[in-house]
């Protein structure tokens, strides 16, 4: 942990070394800046092929969060389409000469 900016979305800066190259990132995971102090150790998960693509969230947890939000979005979309389609069918039935 090399820097704290709690006033900017509770973010903090992390520096880590991969293949003798220093990499910096900003994050607000792991409790945000208010949960840390400069000098704290944190675990950084990164792609070996692209070390700048990194996160403080373990890949499994990040994936499960993404799956949850995709399922939520799919459920909301299905509900919206159902309501829209049923409204369209009701209007089509009540209008003579129109509809299926």
Mean pLDDT of the chain: 78
Same domain, 12 and 46: yes
Question: Do residues 13 and 2 make contact, with C-beta atoms less than 8 angstroms apart?
Answer: yes
Q: What is the pLDDT of residue 28?
A: 66
Range of the domain at 7: 3-57
Do 53 and 39 touch, CB atoms closer than 8 A? no
> Does the pLDDT of residue 83 top 60, yes or no?
yes
Same domain, 38 and 81: no
State whether 83 and 69 are in the same domain.
yes
Same structural domain, 47 and 63: no
Q: Are residues 51 and 38 in the same domain?
A: yes
- For 12-34, what is each residue's pLDDT tens digit? 788 889 999 998 887 766 666 66
Does 69 share its domain with 97? yes
Q: Does 96 share its domain with 81?
A: yes
82, 97: one domain: yes
Give one DSSP letter per residue of 15-64, joined into a string. EEEETTEEEEEEE--TT-GGG--TT-----EE-SS-TTSEESS-HHHHHH
The distance of Cα 9 from the centroid of its chain, to the nearest Å, equals 15
As for how many domains the chain has, the answer is: 2
Phi, psi of 83 (to 5 degrees): -65, -45
């Amino acid at each position: 942990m090399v820097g704290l900016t709690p006033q900017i979305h509770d973010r903090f800066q992390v520096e880590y070394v991969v293949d003798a190259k220093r990499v910096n990132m900003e994050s607000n995971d792991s409790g945000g800046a208010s949960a840390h102090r400069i000098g704290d150790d944190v675990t950084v998960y990164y792609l070996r092929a692209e070390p700048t693509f990194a996160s403080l969230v373990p890949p499994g947890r990040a994936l499960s969060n993404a799956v949850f939000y995709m399922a939520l979005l799919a459920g909301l979309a299905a509900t919206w389409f159902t309501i829209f389609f049923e409204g369209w069918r009701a209007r089509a039935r009540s209008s003579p000469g129109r509809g299926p």
